[in-house]
Structure 1
Amino acid sequence: MSGIIYKIVPEDVWQKAKLAGVFDGAPVDHADGFIHFSTAPQLRETAARHFAGQQDLLLVAVDGGLLGDDLVYEVSRGGALFPHLYARLPLSAVLWEAPLPLLADGTHQFPELSDAAV
């Protein structure tokens, strides 16, 4: 499997990664031993479960095809396959980043994604 995968990340954590030239994960990733990603159809539930009510988030799109064998799709929530990266994320694999603003109802507003509906 490859294609575009997504990371929801606090803006301050992402800015530190950009300064360092590589993303080695957020605190939850460090705790679990891999960097968590979602596919486009998984994004809304990921945001609701793990980032509800959080502001100052970014959505980062990554070309999963550039990550090689370090990217593994593993069974997680509800038996779905989630992309997990067992390496640092090279910023050269990042396609784009966009703000993930918090709406009045506490959900996040996602940008339009070209590879699948969210």
Structure 2
Amino acid sequence: MLIYKIFRSDEWQALRRDGSTTGAPVDVADGYVHFSTSEQAAETAAKHFAGEADLFLLAVETNRLGDALKWEVSRGGAEFPHLYRMLMREDVVWAQPLPLLNGAHDFPAGFKEAE
């Protein structure tokens, strides 16, 4: 199953450069890397990245994460995937720009079907 991480351009570039990351500032503060399912990703973008440009959507295969991936109840009682280790560059299956289009983020065509 694919899960998704939204990164700002500089965060994605740092992961590419360094090979690993503890995540965005919110991830560091919470002690784990926040992810969303395909059904949760648009709401995550709207809630936490409203109006932000220069974002990237990263897809990560859950099978690559092992026991460090935990599903925990969060927003609205839904379970969200949380990674309790560094995110590694090799964990990322693909990354695509997540541009703003008419004030909303334009997710890549077929990203939900790619699971």
Scaled to the shorter chain, the TM-score interval is over 0.9
- Runs of 4+ in structure 1 displaced over 6 angstroms? none
Deviations 1:52-92 (A, max 9, x none): 00010000000111100100000001110000001001211
Q: Which runs of 5+ in 2 are unaligned?
A: none
* Separation of aligned partners in 2, 1:73 and 1:115: 21
Shift of 1:17: 1.2
For residue 106 of structure 2, what is the amino acid of its counterpart? Q
Find the partner of 1:45 among 30, 43, 46.
Answer: 43
Aligned to 1:90: 88
For residue 8 of structure 2, what is the amino acid of its counterpart? P
1:29 aligns with 2:27: yes
Question: For the aligned residues, what is the CA RMSD?
Answer: 1.0
Q: Higher strand share goes to which structure?
A: 2
Per the normalisation by structure 2, the TM-score is 0.94
Q: How many residues align?
A: 113
Q: Which runs of 5+ in 1 are unaligned?
A: none
